[in-house]
Amino acid sequence: MSVEDFDAFLDNEDASVIGAFTAKEMVDPDAKMPEGWDEDEDGEWSAETIENPAYTQFKAVAGTYGYRFAYTFDAEVLSKLKSKTGGLYLYRSPKFLSVEHGDRPRERFPSTKFTPDAVTNWLEAKAQPLVGPYSMQTKDRYKTPVLTIFMNLDFDKNAKSVAYVLKRARKVAAGLKGKLAVSVGSLSEMSYEMESYGLTSTKSVDILMGIRSGYEYYGLSDKAFSKDSLTAFAKKFLAKELSPYVKPEEPPAAEEDTEEDAEGDEDKEEM
């Protein structure tokens, strides 16, 4: 991964996980000269070259579901990371990042050993900014109830509306930490899940809100999005003043004629 590849990889709506290594292979640090080795007879002894253990461990955790991984051995990238020995780095999405509200652009894994459980726990705790993305890849990262604002989440074509929503969402989310997470989801990509909240979008300019708590869903469709309506919706949920949406039961399918009924109809037609 070059510096250009690195910058392009980070420019995403989701977090990025980067493994940085000084070398792909290295001399085995645990290798020992065999007992009885005689350099006069056996030649000069040299330790075996092995794959960098940190890189091997990285490959084992890089399949962690729902996260974007990349790696590099490039000296220029390590220099940009200000890393002399390498490591595992998490970069929060620059599209959702708000340093003003306390989001840190990056985190470094606090160990030189990468185990799947430890890395997974670290990512779950660190990946989401104050107001982060809600998608099929990220929704399981939210361990507390989560309020999602569904909208046309196009950072290029709908930039002003996205900025408008994020600005107000962050102001509200700051006071809800630890109680209710706040996220933003795409109307088009999450349309199927929106049905669980009782929400339906008819226009691309719609901005709708829903809260998911475990297997319960609460939708707000009769109020226009604003800082005040977002705040009121969150407060009512926390005060347990909302009832979860219950999807109406579908009417039973019309019963098909039995074989006897069909034969009876045929007899009538012959008469």
CATH superfamily of 130-247: Glutaredoxin (3.40.30.10)
CB 162 within 8 A of CB 225: no
How confident is the model at residue 97, as a pLDDT?
92
Q: How many residues does the chain have?
A: 271
- Give the three-state DSSP class for 20: strand
Report pLDDT digits (tens) over 209-237.
999 999 999 999 888 899 999 999 999 99
Residue 125: which H helix or E strand, with range?
A: helix 116-126
More confident site: 161 or 47: 161
Report pLDDT digits (tens) over 47-63.
677 788 888 888 888 87
Tell me what the mean pLDDT of segment 251-265 comes to: 59
CATH code linked to domain 1-129: 3.40.30.10
The strands making up 16-20's β-sheet, listed across from edge to edge, are 68-72, 16-20, 87-91, 106-108
Choose from 32-41, 43-52, 204-213 the range with maximum mean pLDDT. Answer: 204-213
Confidence of residue 271 (pLDDT cuts 50, 70, 90): very low
How confident is the model at residue 116, as a pLDDT?
87
- The answer to whether the 1-129 and 130-247 domains have the same CATH topology is yes
Which of 6-20, 42-56, 71-85, 254-268 shows the lowest per-residue confidence on average (mean pLDDT)?
A: 254-268
Domain ranges in the chain?
1-129, 130-247
How confident is the model at residue 104, as a pLDDT?
93
Burial of 144: CB neighbours in 10 Å, binned 0-12, 13-18, 19+? exposed
How confident is the model at residue 46, as a pLDDT?
66
pTM over 0.85: no
Which of 16-30, 67-81, 204-218 shows the lowest per-residue confidence on average (mean pLDDT)?
A: 16-30
Token digits of residue 186: 């795409």
